[in-house]
Amino acid sequence: DIQMTQSPSSLSASVGDRVTITCRASQSISTFLHWYQQKPGRVPDLLIFAASTLQSGVPSRFSGTGSGTDFTLTISSLQPEDFATYYCQQTYNTPLSTFGQGTKLEIK
Amino acid sequence: EVQLVESGGGVVRPGGSLRLSCAASGITFEDYGMSWVRQAPGKGLEWVSGINWNGGSTGYVDSVKGRFTISRDNAKNSLYLQMNSLRAEDTALYYCVRENEGIAPGVFDLWGQGTMVTVSS
């Protein structure tokens, strides 16, 4: 099975900061990598699919890069509404899938 | 209205069984693969099981193989998860999730609100 290692597990940052979250796959998954945002008490929302394509309606301050085994999610200038938990997900061999452990982004 | 509504959760003793159901509405159910994703209290997301559009292909996370069975009935627009030999570590909120290949293979673009499963003696 493909394992996903996400880091850091938590991150403190301030409004306006640039932050980067990384996700590493245990084997190459091409660009079958997606990012979700989850706020407390809510279901996850899709932010980025296929490693770098922004889902409709997602602000352009979010971006994703990577292919193979190493991927990043970057928020260029944090806004108050961005404080949430972020998950990566691989879908290289559907119907199998795996999520990363999550990164909780907190206000400094 | 486009929605997924889960049911069937509850409190069960270790070793017991539950059957979760997910009713889809507002979508052409047979067009989509579906999955179950769970989230233990205060923990992260864990993909549990997935099934393709016609039920011909299924998958499970290692920790539930041999204990859980996913199935679907396209005529009833419904997804199921039969859970046997339940353990304390299966305690979680279970989400029914739609996979939208039109966006990207395996991407989850529609989530139900979840049904809580608690395994406790």
- Rounded CA separation B16/B29 (Å): 30
Interchain contact, B105 vs A38, CB within 8 Å = no
- Rounded CA separation A105/A102 (Å): 10
CA distance B13 to chain A (A): 26
- Rounded CA separation A100/A80 (Å): 24
CA distance A72 to chain B (A): 17
At A17-44, the pLDDT tens digits run 999 999 999 999 999 999 999 999 999 9
> Given a cut of 90, is residue A5 above it in pLDDT?
yes
* Amino acid identity for residue A23 in this structure: C
Across the interface, which of A46, A98, A100 has its CB nearest the CB of B107? A46
Q: Which residue out of A26, A32, A43 would a mutagenesis test of the B interface target, given it has the greatest number of B Cβ atoms within 10 Å?
A: A43
> Given a cut of 90, is residue A63 above it in pLDDT?
yes
CB-count burial class (<10 Å; 0-12, 13-18, 19+) for B22: buried
- Rounded CA separation B6/A11 (Å): 33
Chain A contact set for B116 (CB, 8 A): none
Tell me the pairing of strands B45-51 and B58-60: antiparallel
* Residue A88 banded pLDDT, cuts 50, 70, 90: very high
At B96-113, the pLDDT tens digits run 999 999 999 999 999 999
Interchain contact, B108 vs A99, CB within 8 Å = no
If residue A54 lies in a helix (H) or strand (E), which one and from where to where? strand A53-54
Sequence-distant (≥ 6) Cβ neighbours of residue B66 within 8 angstroms: none
Q: Please give the residue of chain A at the shortest CA–CA distance from B46.
A: A99
Tell me the pairing of strands B58-60 and B115-119: unpaired
